């Protein structure tokens, strides 16, 4: 297959800009679609072509398959890159692309469909010899039969939506007396959010860690594991801080995790970038969680420590080529940490916030990568996911990476909107994160201490109003294999992510 002449980017915000820049560096022309809210975005300005999407809501724009395919036909694109979120894990969209003569830059539709169903993916993991959490999938029993199944799994247990994610359709059940009501509530929520009421049961692990393995598969059947990422600092089951390598596992567990991820990927004939996620208990026993069949938000930390540009490899693989690196010579080095900057208020249960960017300073220095398209005067609305930027650092070891991240969080300035920057500083400088011994409940445990130390702040909206809005060009250093971004004239920031 010849290189693509033109790639349509079916996304927005910083990931759209990231994809545009990677494609440009490869000599591929790019086309960006945009909503009215994103008409001034940096991705729109940097792409060779851009097309407005009719409508205002997400369902009318970035989730509108008909509009996106019509633009692809109109502009003569050969391929579509979905980024992450939105249509990136939509098997029907991938099939529609193929039917329209477009290459979907990602896994095969059948792979997305199989691994996107948590029940099917667990069954496939079990068949591939990957450890799975004890649980029950399939038709849910009732009455005494349900009690017997739950007792066999053991309490506490967790109810999860089969087609879900992001904490929706999920309930923790402490004892048998709560089971029936929790099951009904989780099923209703799953139907409301995902159009599928099916749920399943699994053992709930106390103080687990969330560790994931980055995989990359080519068209020749090769699958390589590109190290793991520790993702246990979360709120509402959404990640806030990621690092690679994980500080909580030893080399044997690291090798076993990678082997398990590769075994599952090979069993399904995985192509393109993906992530196999695991839960690790307090005895370092790991269990399969799910597969994200797309590029991850936190892919920069893997790019730092491996030197592999995941986006460029996705494009090459979609063009029928192999990896642009030799897996046998891949030697991870150093340590990388990423913090997600969100437009949300940690003092108000992390609820999304809106406002106007009054003052923005994004430090540029060696070993720092900022993926962002913020600019001063920008209006931040709650139309999309609240993530504003990704702040990533690289050091020769974890100590150096921690020092760089602490300095970056101290020096990063964003006024005019409530965000989680103070909370990120609090976590990164705290004893739990510094020690490397933290888990998925650490954020909840730290909140009382964080809130107790807070003083009544000057309203950020007032501070923002005092600033003279200006579309100042800010810069960001990108010392890793992919281009870090910051910018002016950018549109609304935020994405659907995991």
Mean pLDDT, rounded, for 228-252: 96
pLDDT confidence of residue 339: 98
Residue 495 confidence (pLDDT) above 50: no
Q: Which CATH number characterizes residue 156's domain? A: 3.30.1490.20
Q: Please tell me the predicted confidence (pLDDT) of residue 358.
A: 94
Both 338 and 420 in a single domain?
yes
Is the pLDDT score of 487 beyond 80? no
**199 and 232 co-located in one domain:** no
Q: Is the pLDDT of residue 488 over 50?
A: no
Ranking 67-71, 75-79, 325-329, 483-487 by mean pLDDT, the lowest is: 483-487
CB 51 within 8 A of CB 74: yes
Confidence of residue 491 (pLDDT cuts 50, 70, 90): very low
- Same domain, residue pair 283 and 391: yes
**167-172 mean pLDDT:** 86
413: in domain: yes
Q: What local confidence, expressed as pLDDT, does residue 169 receive?
A: 87
Q: State the pLDDT at residue 167.
A: 72
Q: How far apart are CA 90 and CA 184, in angstroms?
A: 27
> pLDDT for 268-288, tens place per residue?
999 999 999 999 999 999 999
In this structure, the answer to whether residues 304 and 355 fall within a common structural domain is yes
- Which one from 29, 209, 294, 418 is the annotated catalytic residue? 294
The torsion angles phi and psi of 386, rounded to 5 degrees, stand at: -80, 5
Q: Are 442 and 384 contained in the same domain?
A: yes
- 296 with 425, same domain: the answer is yes
195 pLDDT band, cuts 50/70/90, is confident
pLDDT exceeds 50 at position 434: yes
Residue-level pLDDT at 118:
83
Does residue 404 surpass a pLDDT of 90? yes
pLDDT band at 313 (very low <50, low <70, confident <90, very high): very high
Whether residues 78 and 145 fall in one domain: no
According to the model, what pLDDT value does residue 179 have? 95
Model confidence pLDDT, tens digit, residues 455-478: 655 555 445 544 444 433 333 333
pLDDT in the model for residue 453: 86
Counted domains in the chain: 3
Whole-number percent of the chain with pLDDT over 70: 91
Q: Residue 118: inside a domain, yes or no?
A: no
* pLDDT of residue 166 exceeding 70: no
- Radius of gyration for the alpha carbons in the chain, expressed in angstroms and rounded: 22
- Shared-domain flag, residues 87 and 149: no
For the chain, report the end-to-end CA distance as a whole number of angstroms.
32
Residue-wise DSSP of 310-353: HHHHHHHHHTT---SS-GGG----SEEEEEEEESEEGGGTTEE-
| 3-class secondary-structure state, position 106 | coil
User: Has 294 been annotated as catalytic?
Assistant: yes
Give yes or no: residues 316 and 452 share one domain.
yes
Rounded CA separation 89/496 (Å)? 11
pLDDT digits (tens, 9 = 90+) for 292-301: 999 999 999 9
24-35 tens-digit pLDDT:
999 999 999 999
pLDDT (0 to 100) of residue 484: 35
Over residues 87-138, the pLDDT tens digits come to 999 999 999 999 999 999 999 999 999 999 988 999 999 999 999 988 998 8
In a domain? residue 269: yes
**Is residue 278 domain-shared with residue 341, that is, in the same domain?**
yes
Query: Is 301 among the domain residues?
Result: yes
Mean of pLDDT over the chain:
90
431 falls in which pLDDT band (50, 70, 90)? Answer: very high
Average of per-residue pLDDT across 245-257? 97
Range of the domain at 86: 6-105
Q: Can you tell me the mean pLDDT for 64-82?
A: 98
CATH number of residue 384's parent domain = 3.30.470.20
Angstrom distance (rounded) from CA 360 to CA 159: 42
Distance CA 186, CA 170 (A): 6
Among 155, 153, 126, 132, which residue's Cα sits nearest to residue 278? 132
pLDDT tens-digit map of 333-359: 999 999 999 999 999 999 999 999 999
pLDDT on residue 474: 35
Q: Are residues 216 and 199 in the same domain?
A: no
What pLDDT score was predicted for residue 193? 82
Q: Are residues 154 and 55 in the same domain?
A: no
Please determine, for residue 498, whether its predicted confidence score (pLDDT) is greater than 50: no
- Beta strand residue intervals within 166-271, DSSP E: 171-173, 199-203, 209-217, 223-235, 238-244
């Amino acid at each position: 297959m010849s290189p693509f002449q033109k790639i349509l980017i079916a996304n927005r915000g910083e990931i759209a800009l990231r994809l545009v820049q990677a494609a440009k560096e490869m000599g591929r022309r790019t086309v960006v679609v945009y909503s009215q809210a994103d008409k001034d975005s940096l991705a729109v300005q940097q792409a060779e072509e851009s097309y407005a999407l009719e409508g205002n809501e997400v369902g009318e724009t970035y989730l509108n398959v008909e509009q996106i395919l019509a633009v692809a036909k109109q502009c003569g694109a050969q391929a579509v890159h979905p980024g992450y979120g939105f249509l990136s894990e939509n098997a029907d969209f991938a099939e529609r692309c193929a039917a329209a003569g477009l290459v979907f830059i990602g896994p095969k539709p059948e792979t997305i469909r199989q691994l996107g169903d948590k029940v099917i993916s667990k069954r496939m993991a079990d068949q591939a010899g990957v450890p799975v959490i004890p649980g029950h999938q399939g038709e849910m029993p009732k009455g005494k039969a349900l009690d017997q199944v739950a007792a066999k799994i053991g309490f506490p247990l967790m109810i999860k939506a089969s087609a879900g994610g992001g904490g929706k359709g999920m309930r923790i059940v402490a004892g048998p007396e709560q089971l029936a009501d929790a099951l009904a509530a989780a099923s209703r929520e799953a139907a409301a959010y995902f159009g599928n009421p099916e749920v399943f049961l699994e053992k709930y692990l106390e103080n687990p860690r969330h560790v994931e393995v980055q995989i990359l598969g080519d068209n020749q059947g090769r699958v390589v594991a590109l190290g793991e990422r520790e993702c246990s600092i979360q709120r509402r089951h959404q990640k806030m801080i990621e690092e690679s390598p994980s500080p909580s596992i030893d080399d044997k567990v690291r090798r076993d995790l990678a082997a398990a991820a590769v075994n599952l990927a090979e069993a399904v004939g995985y192509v393109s970038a993906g992530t196999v996620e695991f839960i690790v208990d307090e005895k370092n026993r790991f269990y399969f969680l799910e597969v994200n069949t797309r590029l991850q938000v936190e892919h920069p930390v893997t790019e730092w420590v491996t030197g592999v540009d995941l986006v460029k490899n996705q494009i090459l693989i979609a063009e029928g080529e192999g990896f642009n690196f030799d897996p046998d010579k891949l030697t991870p080095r150093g340590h990388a940490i990423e913090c997600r900057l969100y437009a949300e208020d940690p003092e108000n249960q992390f609820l999304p916030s809106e406002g106007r960017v009054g003052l923005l300073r994004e430090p540029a220095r060696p070993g720092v990568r900022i993926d962002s398209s913020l600019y001063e005067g920008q209006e931040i609305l709650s139309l999309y996911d609240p993530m504003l930027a990704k702040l990533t650092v690289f050091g020769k070891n974890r100590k150096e990476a921690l020092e760089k991240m602490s300095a970056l969080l101290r020096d990063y300035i964003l006024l005019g909107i409530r965000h989680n920057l103070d909370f990120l500083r609090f976590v990164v400088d705290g004893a739990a994160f510094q020690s490397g011994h933290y888990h998925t409940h650490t954020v909840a445990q730290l909140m009382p201490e964080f809130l107790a130390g807070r003083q009544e702040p000057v309203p950020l909206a007032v501070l923002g109003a005092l600033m003279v809005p200006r579309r100042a060009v800010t810069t960001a250093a990108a010392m890793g294999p992919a281009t870090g971004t910051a910018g002016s004239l950018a549109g609304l920031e935020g994405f659907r992510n995991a």
